[in-house]
Amino acid sequence: MLDKTEKRPILVIDDEGSMRIALSEALSRSGHLVDCISNGYDALKKVQSTSFKLVITDVKMPKMNGLEILLEIKKVLPQIPVIMITAYGTINNAVEAMKKGAADYILKPFSFEELDAVVKRALANGRNKETPVKDGQKQKEIITRDSRMIKLIDLVKSIALSKSTVLIQGESGTGKELFARYVHQYSERREKKFVAVNCAAIPEDLLESELFGYEKGAFTGAVSRRLGKFELADGSTILLDEVSEMGLKLQAKLLRVLQEFEIDRVGGKEPVPVDIRAVATTNVDLKQAVEEGKFREDLFYRLNVIPLKIPPLRERRDDIPLLVEHFVEKHSLRCKKVAPRVSPEAFTAFKNCEWRGNVRELENVIERTVLLHRDEVLLPEQIIMEEVSEDGKVKGVIHRGTRSMKEMEQDLILRTLEELEGNRTHAAKALGISIRTLRNKLSDYKRQGGMQI
């Protein structure tokens, strides 16, 4: 979600000078900044170099017509709403344009009020729409109204078309992966599958073959050639998640990939060229890791071409109500419930939390709360918090109410089970505990109270 006061201009494309002047005056009167251009070719160049909030284009123009412009814009920047200007005689063009992704159309001649209404509607819809995605994964929207975050999103859009490496730093759960996917989504690589590698989850020796692949016979068990993630990401974007966890030997190999754009498969004789765009994320201070000798300095500079520092949620508390509403809607829909209204007191409670685990923690809390919630209104004592340690890791579940922890835990577990029709696997997952812990707790309750479970 973008701020209403945003200053990005509207681009007007029309071959008729008088029309450009009229549109420019009308839009400026409504407080928009306006940029005018007389032909499609220049407009497409401009669209890629400037961040516009909206494009208004005439349909009938010599050389490149409005429909062609629309298709080109949708290819590079699918999220920009495009409004078509058309005449009564050519209304079919407008219908076709809407099918091809135009936000709206306006018929000539039109009044100032009509134009204003169409623009307002297109901007409002554009704000909440999910970015269409081509690689089969649904792109999640970055919800924010924080000026630092909006600047980061604009930065991502402006650098997406380049091949420069992006380093995303931020605490756990701040949305680093979400930003990494945005980089891919706004690039011309979006048609290709985004490849993600979690450097922390894979042991060092396996990580090498995971990233670089291997030739048949490279080691015992290498019965056939296997392509690594770099080769799988050829022509696309590769996310090196938690890059700080990579060992020094692999760091040297990674540096070579980023300098030469070629890789050596394990046991391979020839280097293989790869066309990749690398995005790395880390939740530790990489500069400090360099000072401590844990991370190569040359690699740090190679990765840090475009640095994105995502602020923790507690430094952008105005985002919390927006995120709360978004997640309440999302998870209510998921469990086929009517979304409860969040009381002002609950909003305050959400706003005042520390959120060490950032947006991920907030979403988990809402997911659990919504799952177990039955009333029309959500009150603060009904929020089911997580117990999160200093580094953002979840330790357990706590209720904000006044009963004893034990009682609340039992109540929560039994209600979750009931809600999920006795499915213990699902219940354990929803509760964030292992199935073994759940089983033990249930036998405790049975022993204590002779409960029928």
Ligand X SMILES: Nc1ncnc2c1ncn2[C@@H]1O[C@H](COP(=O)(O)OP(=O)(O)OP(=O)(O)O)[C@@H](O)[C@H]1O
Task: Pick between residue 325 and residue 411 the one whose CB is nearest to ligand X.
Answer: 325
Tell me how far apart the alpha carbons of residues 81 and 448 are, in angstroms, rounded to a whole number.
61
Contact 237, 183 (CB under 8 A): yes
Tell me how far apart the alpha carbons of residues 335 and 317 are, in angstroms, rounded to a whole number.
27
Task: Pick between residue 165 and residue 174 the one whose CB is nearest to ligand X.
Answer: 174
Selected binder of ligand X within 196, 308, 346, 359 (CB under 6 A): 359
Which residue from 188, 41, 31, 45 is spatially nearest to 123, judged by alpha carbons?
31
Contact 262, 309 (CB under 8 A): no
Task: Pick between residue 32 and residue 316 the one whose CB is nearest to ligand X.
Answer: 316
Can you spell out the DSSP letters for 375-401? SSEE-GGG-EEEEE-TTS-EEEEEESS
Q: Does 177 bind ligand X (CB under 6 A)?
A: yes
Q: At 313, is the secondary structure helix, strand, or coil?
A: helix
Q: Which residue has the tokens 């969040």?
A: 342
Scan residues 292-351 and list those touching ligand X (CB under 6 A). none
Q: What is the largest CA-CA distance in the chain?
A: 85
Task: Pick between residue 66 and residue 392 the one whose CB is nearest to ligand X.
Answer: 392
Task: Pick between residue 286 and residue 383 the one whose CB is nearest to Mg ion.
Answer: 286
Residue nearest to ligand X (CB): 175
Scan residues 80-139 and list those touching ligand X (CB under 6 A). none
Selected binder of ligand X within 165, 187, 283, 416 (CB under 6 A): 283
364-403 mask for ligand X (x: CB under 6 A)?
----------------------------------------
User: How far from the centroid of its chain's Cα atoms is residue 43's Cα?
Assistant: 28
- The listed partner (ligand X, Mg ion, none) that binds 173, CB under 5 to 8 Å by sort, is ligand X
Tell me how far apart the alpha carbons of residues 262 and 259 are, in angstroms, rounded to a whole number.
8
Selected binder of ligand X within 174, 209, 410, 416 (CB under 6 A): 174
- The listed partner (ligand X, Mg ion, none) that binds 359, CB under 5 to 8 Å by sort, is ligand X
Helices of type H across 186-264: 204-212, 229-232, 248-260
**Structural element, H or E, at residue 12:** strand 10-13
- Please, what is the minimum distance in Å from the beta carbon of residue 239 to ligand X? 9
Tell me how far apart the alpha carbons of residues 359 and 365 are, in angstroms, rounded to a whole number.
10
Selected binder of ligand X within 40, 173, 312, 340 (CB under 6 A): 173
Selected binder of Mg ion within 14, 58, 177, 210 (CB under 5 A): 177
* Burial of residue 266, with CB atoms counted within 10 A of its CB: 0-12 exposed, 13-18 middle, 19 or more buried: middle
- The listed partner (ligand X, Mg ion, none) that binds 144, CB under 5 to 8 Å by sort, is ligand X
Scan residues 139-158 and list those touching ligand X (CB under 6 A). 140, 142-144
- The listed partner (ligand X, Mg ion, none) that binds 26, CB under 5 to 8 Å by sort, is none
- Please, what is the minimum distance in Å from the beta carbon of residue 179 to ligand X? 7
- The listed partner (Mg ion, ligand X, none) that binds 251, CB under 5 to 8 Å by sort, is none
- Please, what is the minimum distance in Å from the beta carbon of residue 286 to ligand X? 14
Phi, psi torsion values for 251, nearest 5 degrees: -60, -40
Query: Using CA of residue 152, residue 178, residue 188, residue 138, what is the dihedral sign?
Result: negative
How many other β-carbons are positioned within 10 Å of the β-carbon of residue 194? 24
- Please, what is the minimum distance in Å from the beta carbon of residue 99 to ligand X? 29
Which parts of this chain interact with ligand X (CB under 6 A)? 140, 142-144, 170, 172-178, 281, 283, 359-360, 363
Q: Which parts of this chain interact with Mg ion (CB under 5 A)? A: 176-177
